[in-house]
Structure 1
């Protein structure tokens, strides 16, 4: 049974109703708006002001409509969120065919996901609330399953690998963005912040209280650039996911 929200309207998402092709009205004036326009405005609002700013009233104001009229296109905020997630998922550049190197293809998928999530900082927080998969998301899932076919994983394991990979990217982007906000709030630059962290850790490690940390810091340095850090962790993630192969 569907839940009922505080407005008295049904909450929750009906996947069949949401993703079925909409029929054109046979009589009367054509609709003043469409879901694509409404969704694009909601995405733009979330991009600039955050997910909490996306309300039916705020989106209606952006398109110049009354709040109640918006419900004839999108029945509730949960449905709007599904539309938003699937719309930005359509930004994923999917090649016509896998390259044949499934590890390289998996890296490309993860990098695309990271790029999309950084363009839309609200997305990592929105994904756990997703209730269904839209056509753009399904296309990305299908592509990933095809990419992983030569990896020796069964069908269920390939699907789980996609979920784990997406979760890793979302978690990492959440951390990246939080660090950037902290640096911005504190002033200075990201490079200055990293240098300060490094000086602190090296001074602590020099006291011989943390010998393993000292050993790690003394090892050949790794590139601290965000993309380089992501790529190193991604490589470990891929190796771990497919260790059984």
Structure 2
């Protein structure tokens, strides 16, 4: 699938739209259009048919207007993509209080992001190394950092932890999306694929030559009914990441307690 990129539009126009510093009103006699209506229509198309189906023409058709009408509100597809991402980033729950300390807060963030990718799998095919710097993306980053603020990490480590967790969720969710696509395109589930290949694999693979992969691969295949289970990878990896962060924090606890002025918060 083709990868799209955020931040490819005109910076002044993109930021003005993202932060709604300028909003075009509907022209007399035209349908009641707005930036939000255009963006929501684009999201509906991407949710249903994927990013490859997204175009200004398709959005216009969905809204029942001429394509040129859209350019009054959004200058092009690049800016539209930034707006789409920022809007969906506003969906996850961000409760002020989460029982269980920083670990529970990070786990909630990861699970909310996982659910967001299930609702909008097209997000997995948008590269965000140059992020859409809108209010919802910024609020999400602020909330994620707030989940681990004051627990003994440096500012750079806080940024790295957020990146680590979000990267893990993205990888596992993309694996799940690709499994779904494979089933749709082949008409065969992962389990059906596995059991179709397993009898032949046992005949051609020499267990004496590949003893470990034969043993482990067989155990995984029988457990998952597939060669790979994205949800299990998500669950296992998330807990190991949280374990690692906890080890890092615990290794600094004595020093942090003996240092005057060190911010203390629940661990």
Determine if the TM-score, normalized by the shorter chain, exceeds 0.5: yes
Task: Tell me how far apart the structure 2 counterparts of residues 185 and 83 of structure 1 sit (CA, whole Å).
Answer: 30
Structure 1 residues 140, 41: CA separation in 2 closer, same or farther (over 3 Å shift)?
A: same
Determine whether 1:229 maps to 2:219.
Answer: no
With 215-224 and 149-158 compared, the bigger mean Cα shift is at 215-224
Q: Deviations over 1:148-184 (max 9, x none)?
A: 1254221222122222322222222222221222233
Higher relative CO (Cα under 8 Å, sequence separation at least 6) belongs to 2
- Displacement after TM superposition at 1:122 (Å): 0.6
In the alignment, structure 1 residue 17 sits paired with structure 2 residue 21: no
Q: Is 1:124–1:170's contact at 8 Å kept on the other side of the alignment?
A: yes
**Unmatched segments (≥5 aa) in structure 1:** 1-9
Partner of 1:162: 162
How far does residue 130 in structure 1 lie from its aligned partner after superposition? 5.0
Question: What per-residue deviation string (whole Å, max 9, x for no partner) do you get for residues 49-71 of structure 1?
Answer: 11122111221221122222211
Residue 99 of structure 1 and its aligned partner are, at CA, apart by: 2.6
**Structure 1 residues 104, 194: closer, same or farther in 2, change over 3 A?**
farther
Q: Distance in 2 between matches of 1:26 and 1:190?
A: 50
Aligned to 1:174: 174
What secondary structure, in the 3-state scheme, does the structure 2 residue paired with 1:122 have? helix
User: Can you list the C-alpha shifts for 1:111-161, whole angstroms capped at 9, x where unaligned?
Assistant: 111111121111011143654222222222112111112542212221222
Q: Distance in 2 between matches of 1:64 and 1:71?
A: 14
Task: Give the equivalent residue in structure 2 for 1:66.
Answer: 66
Contact 2:42 2:54 in 1 (8 A): yes
- Segments of 5+ residues of structure 2 without an aligned counterpart are 1-7, 250-267
Check 1:156–1:181 CA distance in 2 against 1; reply closer, same or farther (3 A cut).
Answer: same
Q: Is the 8 A contact 1:102 1:150 kept in 2?
A: no
Where do residues 1-245 of structure 1 align in structure 2 (5 Å cutoff)? 11-14=9-12, 16-22=15-21, 29=28, 32-128=32-128, 130-196=130-196, 207-217=207-217, 224=224, 226-240=230-244, 243-245=247-249
For the residue of structure 1 that corresponds to 2:108, the secondary structure is helix
Q: Please say if residues 39 and 80 of structure 2, whose CA atoms lie closer than 8 Å, have aligned partners that are also in contact.
A: yes
Separation in 1, partners of 2:36, 2:25: 20
Take 1:104 and 1:216, find their aligned partners in 2: how far apart are those partners? Answer: 32
- Structure-1-length-normalised TM-score: 0.79
| Alpha-carbon distance in 2 for matches of 1:200, 1:152 | 53
Residues 197-239 of structure 1, C-alpha deviation per residue, up to 9 Å, x if partnerless?
Answer: 6666666666221233245357799963643332012222333
Matched position secondary structure for 2:169: helix
TM-score where L is the length of structure 2: 0.74
Conserved? CA contact 1:13–1:131, under 8 Å: no
Deviates more, 1:191-200 or 1:55-64: 191-200
